[in-house]
Amino acid sequence: AFTVVLAAATAEWQYQRFWKQIVAAGNPAEISFTRLLFLLCLLFDRERMHLVASICDTQLPTLIRFPVLWVVSTVMGCDLSEVKGALDSFPTIGDFFSRELREGSRQIDAAPGAVVSPADARVLAAGCVSNLNARVAQVQVKGTTFSLPGLLGTDPFMDLPKDRELMYFALHLGPGDYHRFHAPASFTVESGRRFSGEGLPVSPLVTGRANDVFSVNERVVLSGSWSGGRMHLVAVGAAHVRGIFLEFDPHLAKAMAGSGAPTDGAYYLDGRVTTAELPKGAGGVTASSGSMMGGFRLGSAVVCVFEAPAGSMWKVKAGERVKVANRSSPRASDTTGLEVQGCFQPLVGLPVQMREDDGMSRLPQGRHIHASALSSS
């Protein structure tokens, strides 16, 4: 009994200490701190997650590569028909998770003004932002939230043109998914920021119960523009915190590379960030819609925040599966709509509807698209 009381008292002391540090640092991630998030940070300590990363990066002997990776792919439910290269061509488990798609396995056909899925994933949330300093849905059906300015390091609602809406979606890449991310539109990248952070799981089992997971985790934010206005594409890491990499531009890839070594500290407290901008006058680097931009070594999530013409439409809802940019030509009336492409067939878009019921009304800021407000016809 004494041991339990001592452990509880120690944990409470640590909690109060962390809370004071957050307040003193100005809470750069704008987290609504809870004991659950604190507990997750203790359980999934970054140094322990670094050990997981090291195991996944351990070189597999040639003779056992195929059987080991076949077991891994079977357990995770990977689609081996889309994998570029044979299983025994991957020297580590981490290399297998960051595999490329076989050439021709996806057809990119995005109409102008459309946003397509940047990853194979499940949609956690999709909605609109209506004010400064907004908190938005992290997992829509669960009611958990995160701060958009805390995630990006800037408030995308500032200087929003009157004829534009600010929209966002969040995706979770499961263990068996293809773990690279692609441009959601013709995307001109002007700068990148890498935030030092935690390695908390991004599974809905966690993000559906604890607020602010996205804004405390290690992440890379790519900022620029598309035909509808400003765009931010965020690659959120998880257990494998060294595992976010870029491939579409050598300058940003080198600048945004992680240090690889864990350091002491609570990473979301001080807002440490590596910033890189492309040379002035270069006009940015443009990634065509559906082109590969980077990837992850293990678990991950992708958040996309963008300006769009007023009245734009969603063609997907929370809980659905999506794949990278597979898209048939839209109807003429849909050419200015927004589409995160469905896994099997295009979804019919409906005008964005704002609702704050079913538990969403308790959020302090922002308006959200509830999953039940969208359906296909």
The string of DSSP codes covering 99-135 is PPBPTTSS-B-PPTT----SSSEEEEEEEEE-STT-E
Query: Cα–Cα distances in Å, from 40 out to 20, 37, 125, 213, 275?
Result: 18, 5, 22, 10, 28
Query: Cα–Cα distances in Å, from 332 out to 113, 241, 329, 337?
Result: 12, 43, 9, 10
Q: Round to whole Å and give the CA distance between 110 and 341.
A: 10
Burial class (CB in 10 A: 0-12, 13-18, 19+), 77: exposed
Asked about 120 being catalytic, the answer comes back as: yes
Helix intervals (H) in the chain: 2-25, 35-43, 46-56, 62-76, 93-97, 148-152, 204-207, 213-216, 250-255
Q: Which residue among the candidates 73, 117, 120, 370 is catalytic per the annotation?
A: 120
Asked about 130 being catalytic, the answer comes back as: no
Residue 333 carries which side chain, given as an amino acid letter? S
Q: Round to whole Å and give the CA distance between 41 and 213.
A: 10
Q: Round to whole Å and give the CA distance between 354 and 363.
A: 14
The answer to whether residues 37 and 210 touch, using CB atoms and an 8 Å cutoff, is yes
Q: How many CB atoms lie within 10 A of CB 201?
A: 19
DSSP letter at 345 equals S
DSSP letter at 17 equals H
Q: Which residue among the candidates 73, 95, 172, 182 is catalytic per the annotation?
A: 182
Q: Which residue among the candidates 73, 98, 215, 300 is catalytic per the annotation?
A: 300
The answer to whether residues 38 and 18 touch, using CB atoms and an 8 Å cutoff, is yes
Asked about 300 being catalytic, the answer comes back as: yes
Tokens of 60: 């597999």
Show which residues are catalytic. Answer: 120, 182, 300
